[in-house]
Amino acid sequence: MAETALALPGRTSRRVRVTASVTVVVAVALAVLVVPPLAQLDEQAVDLAAKLRPPSLAHPFGTDDVGRDLLLRCVYGLRVSLLVGLVAALTATVVGTATGALAGAFGGWPDRIVMRVVDTLSSVPHLLLGIFIVAMFRPGVWPVIISVALTHWISTARIVRSEVLSLRTRPFIDAAVSGGASRTRVVVRHLLPGVLPQAGLAAVLMVPHAMWHESALSFLGLGLPAHQASLGNLVQSARGSLLAGDWWPTLFPGLFLIIPTLALAGLAGAWRDRINPRRKSELML
């Protein structure tokens, strides 16, 4: 009875967190999909007569240093950051899953080569390697996506490889090999389906991580062009206003970055606890 009584508050708290995360994710999806078509407003429209106005009914989030509506700019910035995060996370997951599955399935020298490459790339900080990659291109969405994808497949490859090595010891794999199944068939029909839940979870966990990297690169002036709305660009352009005492150009883009990423991380955490409750730390990226 005591154990049950202690477990109930934990379940209730977890249910509240999941509900709040789902609500935020749904609201974000509706905002980025519905607001721009319905608003029919130019988020780049400049109105110097209305610059740096505090939040009001006309401008709920206020205006920036050239009079642009900050709410609309935040929605467009979140739209871009989500696009970068989703595409980069999907690309990194595909690359990491394929690499980890092949390394774990074949073993031997292919596994050793792949893991040495993974160890070498892991020794370099993600942000530093990302800066090096985007510096070779002009500022834009695709260089940022490529940069984030190429620096974030490593964790997925390690997770998938460890799962494949674990699956290889299962009796059904021995039965398939004894029945004459080729190595390729074993990988495609038995090993890959077994690691898909872990790979999907890694992709969801990677989305907020990729959004933060895009914002960091844009904040440093190496990501998206300065005129394009992204959450990193909005925070970077608001630094001067913050020093002058105008808090809203920095606060609202920051909240648009923090709250959705926390919601996505909360959903991923609930998924992680459901599919693998005993090894919560293994899938942290």
Give mean pLDDT, residues 209-221.
Answer: 85
Tell me which of 90 and 271 has the higher pLDDT.
90
**Cβ 225 vs Cβ 139: under 8 Å:** yes
Tell me which of 116 and 166 has the higher pLDDT.
116
Give CA–CA dist 134/139, Å, rounded. Answer: 7
State the pTM of this model. Answer: 0.78
pLDDT at 73: 87
Q: Write down the mean pLDDT value for the chain.
A: 79
Give mean pLDDT, residues 232-242.
Answer: 82
Does residue 202 surpass a pLDDT of 50?
A: yes
Q: How confident is the model at residue 250 (pLDDT cuts 50, 70, 90)?
A: confident
- Here the tokens at position 71 are 């709410």
Per cent of the chain over pLDDT 70 is 87
Does residue 5 surpass a pLDDT of 50?
A: no
pLDDT at 228: 78
Q: How confident is the model at residue 277 (pLDDT cuts 50, 70, 90)?
A: low
pLDDT at 6: 44
Give mean pLDDT, residues 211-234.
Answer: 82
Does residue 117 surpass a pLDDT of 80?
A: yes
Per residue in 143-187, pLDDT tens? Answer: 888 888 888 888 888 888 888 888 777 777 767 777 766 667 777
Per residue in 61-86, pLDDT tens? Answer: 888 888 788 888 888 888 888 888 88
Identify residue 11 by its one-letter amino acid code: R
Per cent of the chain over pLDDT 90 is 1
pLDDT at 235: 86
Tell me which of 207 and 227 has the higher pLDDT.
207
